[in-house]
Amino acid sequence: MQPGMPCSIEEFSETVEAIYDTVVEPERWRIAVKMIAQICESSLGSVSVLDLKTFDNKCLYDYGYAADFWEKYAPYAGQHPIMPEVNLMPVGGMTTVALSCGDEAYFDSRMYREVFRPRGYRDFIGLLALRTGSRIGYLHCCRTDQEPRYSAPQVQIFNLLSKHVCRAMSISDLFDLQTLKGDMLSATLNGLAAGVFLVARDRRVVHMNVAAERQLKTGNALRLVNNHLSPSDSAAESALLDALSGAINDEAQMPRGGHSLALPDCDGAGLVATILPLERGERQRVSAPFAAAAAVFVQDPAVVPPMPGEAFAKLYGLTGGELRVALAMAPGLTPQEAADMLGIGLQTVKTHLQRIFQKTCTSRQADLIGLMTRLSTPTKGQ
């Protein structure tokens, strides 16, 4: 790790491994949350889901909180002073009290005065890890009055972990994790709208779900050649080969987690693939019936929940500035509101927006939002 980091390489690697083990064993979030909090030098942490329509907040797994805390917190969930900032963040966005609402608004809020302060809970660092239509998945760590405020080392380590948390939650959200048990794996995979390819150590596809078969038959971004995945784009083919090698051979570029990449097609659109190693921990046990070493999750941006922002940008050739504008407008902001939020001129936003429309083959903001934040369920319709 870099100088000044609050944990060792071994602690970081073990934490990342724990995060990915939650993909097939959600109860392991209890372990992962504790490990994340500890290497960020925090006394508390949680993974929760917030319904953006009803502001019903459900804590899935936590570490360090008092037994009655979430019951007391629930009526105030919609009044959390950092939530306006969170609602505007792209997936993977991080925030702290200082970076979002600021100390004055936070310490003057009813939530802090009536819920946090009586329990000695003070500073927060949080991550928007998942967004699926009307709800968000959120991970945070918290420090008490007896601990200093979050500073650069903790923010840095939290940021390094964020991409792994987002990827694990994104893949997990494709599954009904409460039913993903041993002999039900095949049936569960066939219930997904996303394509899933299970790959052996020799890179042969040993199992694919119904959606994957459909992607091969109806699209031109990905083919199966001699039982091996073969993207039609030469650069994507090389990237997929490298990612699978990293996942299967445990190479340094993929020490514990997965990797996302774009699979363009000849029509100017395409798919996004996420590669996850399966030969570690609980993932190895669950995938054992298929003798699979890696899983390739293939998503179509037109029919599944939001993809990783970086891969979306690569898929459509968006610049960094264009991606920022697209993500800012995804919640439904007007161009002026997006300009104000990003601190840039209205004309700059309009220029970026026109280029985004051209690159994504959309013609209006509603179409762009529909492309980025589909509300359709990840399971197939009946």
E-strand stretches of the chain:
44-51, 57-63, 94-96, 121-132, 135-144, 195-199, 205-208, 222-225, 228-231, 259-264, 270-277, 294-299
Written as one string, the DSSP assignment of 80-127 is -TTHHHHHHSPTT-EEETTTTT-HHHHHTSHHIIIIIGGGTEEEEEEE
Which is more confidently placed, 241 or 305?
Answer: 241
Question: pLDDT tens-digit profile of 198-248?
Answer: 888 888 888 888 888 989 988 889 999 988 999 999 989 999 998 888 888
Of 4-8, 106-110, 356-360, the least confident: 4-8
Residue 94 CA to residue 138 CA, distance in Å, equals: 10
Q: Bridge partners of 222? A: 231
Structural domains in the chain, sorted by start: 9-173 (3.30.450.80), 187-299 (3.30.450.20), 317-372 (1.10.10.10)
Residue 114 CA to residue 372 CA, distance in Å, equals: 38
Confidence of residue 251 (pLDDT cuts 50, 70, 90): very low
- Does the pLDDT value for residue 189 go beyond 90? no
Determine the distance from the C-alpha atom of residue 250 to the mean position of all C-alpha atoms in its chain, rounded to a whole number: 22
Confidence of residue 140 (pLDDT cuts 50, 70, 90): very high
How many CA atoms within 13 Å lie on the side-chain side of 182? Answer: 1
Q: What angle do CA 134, 186, 17 make, to 5 degrees?
A: 65
- Selection from 58, 337, 356, 55 nearest residue 46 by Cα: 58
The answer to whether the CB of 286 falls within 8 A of the CB of 189 is no
Confidence of residue 142 (pLDDT cuts 50, 70, 90): very high
Of 45-59, 200-214, 249-263, the least confident: 249-263
Question: pLDDT tens-digit profile of 107-136?
Answer: 888 888 888 999 999 998 999 888 876 678
Q: What is the pLDDT at residue 171? A: 72
Determine the length of the chain. Answer: 382
Average model confidence (pLDDT) across the chain:
78
The answer to whether the CB of 175 falls within 8 A of the CB of 188 is yes
- Strand ranges of the sheet holding 270-277, from the earlier edge strand across to the other edge: 205-208, 195-199, 294-299, 270-277, 259-264
Which is more confidently placed, 147 or 59?
Answer: 147
Provide, rounded to the nearest whole percent, the portion of the chain with pLDDT above 90: 16
